Amino acid sequence: MASDSRNIRELLNNLWKWTVDRLERTTIVVYKFTVPKQYISPYGYLGTLTAIVFAILGVSGAFLMFYYRPDVELAFLSVKEIQEKVPFGFILRNVHYHASNLMVLLAILHLYYQYFSGRYKIKNEVLWVTGIILGILTILEAYTGYNLIMNQRALLAVNIGMGLTYSAPILGPTIAPIFMGGGLFDLVVRFYALHVFILPLLMLLLAAVHFPRALIIDFPVISVIVGVIFISAGLFPAELGIKFDLTRGLVEVPEWYLTAIYAFLRTGTERFTAGALLPLLFVIMFLIVPFVDRSRKLSWKDRPFFTALGVASIVLVTVTTVWGFYVDFSKETAFDQLYIEPTLFYGSIAGMTIASFYATYVYLSRQVRGARPPPTKPIVLKPQSATTIMVVLLVFIAAAAAATFYTYFINLPNHSMFYLGIAFFLFGLLLHVYRHSIYTQERQATQREQQAVRTAT
């Protein structure tokens, strides 16, 4: 018996060694995958998380392609079919939708974390610039994606996008028809091609340059991220909207990552300036920052000007985004409801941006750096208590899994997604507790050994 299992283990070992030796010939060994042995802050590897969510989008999107029909009239109906009739279609579509939101969100967080910690320095300029381009492609990918549904909201977004392209000086009138073709029937197909192939391909190529060589794969956090996708899908199921209808005026607001641009457009400012030049300024600011900020300091505390600039940019984006959602329902017509008074709008964003810049700058330059705060004591889990926590978590996971199946069978797919999300979330916690207890135990063991050595000598 014992020799049997040893043989099997030997066989597996040999197989593993054989494979690894062959993989030496491929590019995969270029990457150094690290599975951390203890909790490390996810801020450092938000980029990897973004990539993982991108992979989830790729898989769910590929399956959605089995039913989606890129056709003016059929597109909406096919999404409706996926949502209502296709088994698991509702779940797939929701995963795809919420993962797309999460990807945009993670990309933004990733950008700002790297910005404030000064990571664009120390020979990271290429990583930084490719990252900014990847960010823009991510937004475009999300944009082309939600337009494929061909509901009212999609048409609004297409209308804004085409208006912006047309209004571009010199090239605009030449470029717009490339997307537009001979009408909406061409546009859907072209957006589809962009969404499922051209943009993702560009993103993958850029990602090959953008990926640093050391990648951190942290399973507990990945599990939590998957959980978050399902939980948000359960709480806010993706809406189908209303099929586009060119005889009905409805008040629609675009997806949250585009409302900032929408707010500018609604003030009546010249289209191209509002929708393209101003956002472009924003992008350019991020593109050139590594070449302007030449100091050797990395921490945000030591770079008051650039930190203040970053804070001000966050305030700017937030305020304009909030404005974008603003609809004055006391007005009678849809047009008046959506109109934003320019002086109020520009006044508020200028005031808040400048104030936040000034406040941050003054605060940071006055600050004297004190001594480092003492490191916090790690939480030590006794093996028994770790086991108890894990058992309790397991029970909850089992309950969530049961609820997942039950709600699925009584035809409440959004509840089902919610419970599944909870299960993933708790599973992430469980992995974390497990890892933590093993890690602290090992550390205690080594400490004890060291002590033993010390007392012996």
- Interface residues with other proteins (CB under 8 A)? 71-73, 155-156, 159, 162-163, 166-167, 173, 176-178, 180-186, 246-249, 268, 270-271, 333-335
Q: Among residues 81 and 186, whose Cβ is nearest to other proteins?
A: 186
Q: Among residues 176 and 359, whose Cβ is nearest to other proteins?
A: 176
CA 303 to centroid of chain Cα atoms = 27
Which residues, in sequence order, are bridge partners of residue 151?
Answer: 243
Torsional sign, CA 82, 84, 86, 91: positive
CA 227 to centroid of chain Cα atoms = 14
How is residue 204 written in tokens? 């993958």
Q: How far is 401 from 417, CA to CA, in rounded Å?
A: 10
211 contact partners, CB below 8 Å, separation of at least 6: 31, 47, 51
Smallest distance, Å, CB 329 to other proteins? 15
Smallest distance, Å, CB 335 to other proteins? 4
Q: Among residues 34 and 159, whose Cβ is nearest to other proteins?
A: 159
Can you tell me whether residue 449 is helix, strand or coil?
helix
How is residue 162 written in tokens? 């085409």
365 contact partners, CB below 8 Å, separation of at least 6: 304
Q: Among residues 343 and 455, whose Cβ is nearest to other proteins?
A: 343
Q: Among residues 88 and 335, whose Cβ is nearest to other proteins?
A: 335
Q: List b or e across 414-447, with b for residues whose CB sees 16 or more CB atoms inside 10 angstroms.
A: bbbbbbbbbbbbbbbbbbbbbbbbebbeeeeeee
Smallest distance, Å, CB 75 to other proteins? 12
Q: Among residues 17 and 331, whose Cβ is nearest to other proteins?
A: 331
Cβ 30 vs Cβ 37: under 8 Å: no
Cβ 340 vs Cβ 326: under 8 Å: yes
Smallest distance, Å, CB 250 to other proteins? 8
Smallest distance, Å, CB 247 to other proteins? 5
Smallest distance, Å, CB 296 to other proteins? 47
Smallest distance, Å, CB 153 to other proteins? 12
For tokens 């999107």, name the residue. 61
Q: What does the angle CA 188 – CA 191 – CA 193 come to, to the nearest 5 degrees?
A: 110
Q: Among residues 16 and 185, whose Cβ is nearest to other proteins?
A: 185
Q: Among residues 19 and 159, whose Cβ is nearest to other proteins?
A: 159
437 contact partners, CB below 8 Å, separation of at least 6: 381, 383, 386
Q: Among residues 167 and 348, whose Cβ is nearest to other proteins?
A: 167
Smallest distance, Å, CB 184 to other proteins? 6
Cβ 25 vs Cβ 75: under 8 Å: no
Smallest distance, Å, CB 74 to other proteins? 10
